[in-house]
Structure 1
Amino acid sequence: MSPAFYHVLHLLSLIVLTGGTFYGFAGPAESRKKVMIFTGIASLLMLISGVGLLHKLSYGFPGWAIVKIVCWLGLAGLAGIGYRKRDKAGLFMTIILALVFVALVMVYQRPF
């Protein structure tokens, strides 16, 4: 598969995972199972496409990719917390935005 396919799949997975995580903090409790399935699949696709893209572009495993994996772990972990900690939704949404921002900065700046 081409790097463009991996790139599009990675970005679509990011959009679905981020949207599902935000929906977890605002949606009705009846939708929990369906949202958790979507965010879990998106999280897995995000990891596979990201590692596949690193391989296709022959980057190896640089430091900025490790930071992105930490951001991915945080975002995937917060997807399940949304339905349990609705009283702290503002704090967690700020953390989600910060994780997405750091991941975007890492891919476009590649500081190390």
Structure 2
Amino acid sequence: MSYDFYKVMHFLGLFMFFTALGGQFAQAINGGDAKQQPGRRWVGMFHGIGLLIVLVAGFGLSAKLGVGFPGWVIGKMVIWVILGGVGALAARKRSMAGMLWVITIALGMCAAYLARAKPF
């Protein structure tokens, strides 16, 4: 597969993931029983599939670049793990959902900076 293919797939996964995460935050902020939310299943599917696509395409990009595991790649993987669990945290701590939403945006920007600048 080409570098461009992996990059497009990485962005597809990001769009799926962040859309689903926004849905999780909206559900948490609106309250109510999480099991009675009609779109809960779709949100969960897009969240998981998006995370998987981001991971696989990210490793494909890393392999195409031939960089191995420098600090910026490890930093992006740490951010990926944190973002994978932040939706569940928002569902459990609904009072923190708004703040977690802002933190999620900041973490996304940090990941973008690491990918673009490759500072270490």
Number of residue pairs the alignment of both structures matches: 112
SS of the residue 1:30 aligns to: coil
Which residue of structure 1 aligns with residue 46 of structure 2? 38
1:67 aligns with 2:75: yes
For 2:50 and 2:70, the matched residues in 1 are separated by 23
Deviations 1:23-66 (A, max 9, x none): 11114722212211111011011000001110011111111000
Which residue of structure 2 aligns with residue 103 of structure 1? 111
8 A Cα contact 1:18 1:75, kept in partner: no
Aligned-partner residue type, residue 71 of structure 1 = I
Structure 2 regions of 5+ residues with no counterpart? 31-36
TM-score, length basis structure 1: 0.91
Worse-matched range after superposition: 18-27 or 75-84: 75-84
- The residue correspondences of 1:10-89 to structure 2 (distance < 5 A) are 10-27=10-27, 29-89=37-97
For 1:15 and 1:86, the matched residues in 2 are separated by 24
Structure 1 regions of 5+ residues with no counterpart? none
Identity of aligned residues (%): 39
8 A Cα contact 2:72 2:115, kept in partner: yes
Worse-matched range after superposition: 72-81 or 40-49: 72-81
For 1:102 and 1:13, the matched residues in 2 are separated by 17
Deviations 1:50-91 (A, max 9, x none): 011100111111110000001111111113334333322211
TM-score, length basis structure 2: 0.86
* RMSD over aligned Cα atoms: 1.4
